[in-house]
Amino acid sequence: MPRGKPRERVKSKVVLRNSNFLQNQSEENRVRRIKTTHGNTIIVMPGVSPHLVAALFPSNWSHQSYFTLSGRMKKGQGVVFSAKTVDSKKRQFSIQVRSIRPHYSTTHEARMILKLKEHNFGVEDVLGIVDMNGGQRLLVTRREENPVNGPFKEVKHAEKRLKKLGILPEDLYEYGKQNFLFVEGPNGKPRLILIDVEHYHSLDPNSKLHSSRMLRKKPQPS
C-alpha cells in the first residue's frame, strides 16, 4: 500500500510579547505563532491550552459540513463550515471554521471577540487563526452545541451595552439574519452568545478595533 501524507506537525513556534507582558506570564496566556510541516501558519489565541493546538491543524479536520447559504459563500468571499477535530490527546470535538473576508485584516474579528469577552459578553470560544498554505485565512472557534431558545430582549440589552462601550455591533440581527444564539447557562437559564462579529467595530479612532484599522492594507506597488 502507498504511504499516506506525512502527519502535520509543528515546524517552528514563536511566542509573542505584548504591551502588558509580565515576566511570569505563562505561554498559554500569550499569542503563539506556529508554522507547520504542511506550510500552514497558525496563530493560537491567548488562553488556549497547548494540547488544543493540534485541533487547529487542518489535517485533523474531518466531517466538514458547509453552510452554502452564508454571505461569504454566496458572495464568493470564502467558506463557512463545521467540522470535527481532535486535540493532542485524541479527544474529539466540533469546531466552526469561517474565512476571513479578503478585505478585512487577519486579526480584527479575533481581537473583537477577546475584547467582548473582557467585558463579560457571551462570545464564541475562539481557538485561533489558520493562514493556509495557498493564501486562505480561516478563523476557528469551538462550535456551540445544543442551542436553546431565549428572550430577544437580552439581544437588545447586549446591543445597548455595546453601543455604550463605543462598539457598533453591525449585523447583529439585521437583514433577516441572527448572528447570535442562546445556550444553557450554569444556572439553567438561557445565556446569550454573540457570533460572527466580523463587522463589529469601535468608534474610538485610537482603538485597534476602529473601522479604519479593520480593513486589510493593500500591498504597495513595487
With vertex at residue 29, the alpha carbon angle to CA 23 and CA 32, rounded to the nearest 5 degrees, is: 100
- pLDDT value of residue 176: 67
Q: Residue 24 pLDDT more than 80?
A: no
The answer to whether the CB of 78 falls within 8 A of the CB of 104 is no
Q: Residue 2 pLDDT more than 60?
A: no
pLDDT digits (tens, 9 = 90+) for 67-101: 988 888 888 889 999 999 999 999 999 999 999 99
Q: Cα 3 to the chain's mean position, in Å?
A: 34
Q: Domain residue spans in the chain?
A: 27-104+124-142, 152-214
**Mean of the per-residue pLDDT values of the chain:** 89
pLDDT digits (tens, 9 = 90+) for 91-136: 999 999 999 999 999 999 999 999 999 999 999 999 999 999 988 9
Q: How many helices (H) and strands (E) does the chain have?
A: 4, 12
Selection from 52, 56, 26 nearest residue 43 by Cα:
56
Listed in sequence order, the residues at least 6 apart from 31 whose beta carbon sits closer than 8 Å to its beta carbon are 15, 16, 18, 43, 44, 45, 46
pLDDT digits (tens, 9 = 90+) for 154-189: 999 999 999 999 999 988 997 767 899 999 998 899
**Strand partners for 83:** 95
Separation CA 164–CA 162 (nearest Å): 5
Separation CA 167–CA 112 (nearest Å): 9
Separation CA 83–CA 97 (nearest Å): 8
Q: Residue 36 pLDDT more than 70?
A: yes
Please give the torsion angle defined by the CA atoms of residues 139, 213, 207 and 196, in that order, rounded to the nearest 10 degrees.
-30
Selection from 104, 103, 61 nearest residue 85 by Cα:
61
